Every structure is written in C-alpha cells, then in structure tokens.
Amino acid sequence: MAVPISQMWTVASYVLKQRFKGNKRYPLVLMLEPLFRCNLACAGCGKVQYPPHILKKQLTPEECFAAVDECGAPMVSLPGGEPLLHPQIVEIVNGLIARKKYIYLCTNALELKKRLPEFTPSKYLTFSVHLDGQREHHDFSVCREGGWDLAVEGIKEAVQRGFRVTTNATFFDGTDPNSVRSFFDEVMDMGVEGIVLSPGYSYEMAPDQHRFLGRARVRRLFRAILSNRKKSWKFNMSPLFLEFLMGDRKYECTPWGSPAYNIFGWQKPCYLLQDGYADSFKEMMETTKFEEYGVASGNPKCANCMVSCGYEPTAVMEGFGSFKGFLGMVRGTFSSYKDPHAAKLLSEFKSESHAPLVQIETVKAFEETNA
C-alpha cells in the first residue's frame, strides 16, 4: 500500500479517537469541489453538464477553508470540474497545507505541467491524475485525442519536481482487464506513488448511459484485474476496499465518510447523489435520512454503486477500527491474491468483444451543441 506512514498514522489516530468518543458517524475525507467547470467533456461524467451560468461559479478560498474547518476530516479531496482552472487554487492548496490536511488534488493534468512551478512539494499535497487506462482507452474515455500524452507529461514533470503523484482510474463496461494490468505496469514505471481505481457511477446527466457496470460485472472485472498481482504494483487505497471490489468482502456504503461541499452547499446524501443541500455540515449530518440510501435500503439509485467514495470509508474504518480489520489490512497489503480461476478470466475477457467508449467525434458534436 503506497501511503506514507505519517498519513496512515493521522488517519488511524483520527478513527480511534472517534471510536473512543463513541461517534458512529464521522467524515474521513471531505470532497471539496471548488468549481464544476472543466476543460474536458467526458462521456461518463455528470458534473460538466450544468448550464453555463453554473459552470462560471466557484468557491472562494475563504469558503473552502470554512468548510474544511467545519467538517474536521483529516483528508481533503479537490475534485471538480478541473481544480487547476480555479484562479485561486494555489491559495486554496496552501491554506489547506497550513491546516495540515492531506490533500488529493484531482486533475486531468492538461494544465499540470504549466501550473507546477506555482506549487511547492509537501507531504500533505498529492496530485491525483485522472488516467483511465492505456493511451487509446484513456483518450476515448475522456473524449479527447492526445489527452493521455499531456497527462503523462504532467505526471513525469511532477515526479521529477518531487511532488507526490498518484493516478486515478475509473473503469466502465467494456474494460479489458488485460489492458488494465499493462496500464498498471506503465504508470508504476512513471514513478507514481500509487494507483487509485474505482468502477464508474451512473450519473443521471452523463451523456453515455450504456457503459456503467452492475455489481456482478464489477466483481468479475476487478477479480480479473486485481488477482495474481505483481509486487511492483502499489495501490494508494485500502486493501480491504480492493477485496470488496473483487467480491471477497461485503460492505454497506458509508455516505457520511466522504461528505461533499460545493457551490450549492453541503450535498445530501453523498458526493454522487444530489437529493438536496444543507447550509452547514451539522445540518447535513442531522437532517439527511441516511437509512434511505445504500444497497440495503433498496434505493434503486444505490443498487449498483460500488464507488470508492462510498465504500472505501467503510473499509478504512474497519481496517483502523478493529484488530481483526487491521490484521486483514496488513495481510492484504502484502498478498498477491493468487487465484487460478481469475487467470482464466483474463483469457475469457480477451475472447469477448470490447467496444470502445463513445467516439471522440460524437462527443465533439455534443460539445458544439452545448457550447
């Protein structure tokens, strides 16, 4: 597991402190979206489909700091949109570093190489670069030819300058696990700290609704990807969450583990669903009917969700919150997950037809229509 000891200790001590206090619901990572605006229009994304007057809005640094202080989570993820398009993103990052928050700045890296001189390497700052597989697959996924090359240039420059860098991949139906495993080799050769991955979520506003995976297909895909893994692969995630994706663990979603704050306020009930907003973190926690969400609730919006923002908090809380969970986490960190059946699955995937994601030309037409 490619997570620094200092960060692991911060999270572990935070979880233990919450358990000692008797708190059953507490945040682990704040999903802080400073803007929805982006320089890509990915077919599986539901964030950039807002009208222009919404895409022009953004949080101020003061609003970001107030949300972070109110929430109290030890980690902050800066997704979007594209955070590097925010004119005050450096000020926001420096303010969070001053608060000793571990930051994951989620970026498509199209602007990363140009913006890097404005940032200072820190153990608290990680550039989490969106790469959805090998070059051809990634460019189809983000609907931009040449996107892979620009992202890789940014990654290599950031690594050379001493920044923490991870890659963040989202996989959809039609993904070839053989290609993903080769992708792991490629990104580790770039010198990244680790890999972050997740199945996609079916945003209602996403242009392409045909590429989202059901739970059974998620488990089949990730068992093929993550079994019989190489020692050189490092994952910047809980090994218990990876076991969940493989079908070896059963978890319920922890929506309050990754609360979301954006230009509309505190989003209910989680980063992925928009069922209303609250004016404060306290109001969001107290008024959201969390029992109406998750697979066990029968809510159809949650039926196929296995996304990291909902389930990795569950895994982390088990890993640092119980002796049994901690042993499982340690064991998973060093296991290669030998599985002959999973090796056969790779052959089965090779023989299947894997249609590419939405063609770049199709999405270009979509962008022109909505310009």
pLDDT tens, 38-48? 988 776 676 67
Q: Which two tokens stand for residue 46?
A: 């539901």
Beta strands per DSSP E along 214-351: 260-262, 265-269, 274-278
Q: Average pLDDT, stretch 296-319?
A: 93
Residue 315, pLDDT > 90, answer yes
Residue 154 lies in a domain: yes
We report the CATH number of the domain holding residue 155 as 3.20.20.70
The model's pLDDT over 323-357, given as tens digits with 9 standing for 90+, comes to: 999 999 999 999 999 999 999 999 888 766 454 44
Q: What is the pLDDT of residue 356?
A: 45
Ordered alpha helix ranges (H), 143-264: 147-160, 177-189, 215-226, 239-246
Residue 178, pLDDT > 70, answer yes
Residue 19 lies in a domain: no
For residue 117, the 8-state DSSP code is: G
Entry pTM: 0.89
DSSP helix/strand/coil, 168? strand
Residue 11 lies in a domain: no
Sheet holding 125-130, edge to edge: 194-199, 164-171, 125-130, 102-107, 75-78, 29-32, 260-262, 265-269, 274-278
Q: Percent of the chain beyond pLDDT 90?
A: 73
Q: Is the dihedral of CA 360, 362, 364, 366 positive or negative?
A: negative
The model's pLDDT over 22-34, given as tens digits with 9 standing for 90+, comes to: 999 999 999 999 9
DSSP helix/strand/coil, 102? strand
Residue 8 lies in a domain: no
Residue 364, pLDDT > 70, answer no
Q: What is the pLDDT of residue 174?
A: 79
Residue 12 lies in a domain: no
Residue 91: domain span: 27-369
Residue 3 lies in a domain: no
Run of H or E residues at 107: strand 102-107
Please identify which residue in the block is written with the tokens 């990807």.
225
- Among candidates 160, 158, 167, 163, which has minimal Cα distance to 128? 167
Residue 126, pLDDT > 60, answer yes
Number of domains in the chain: 1
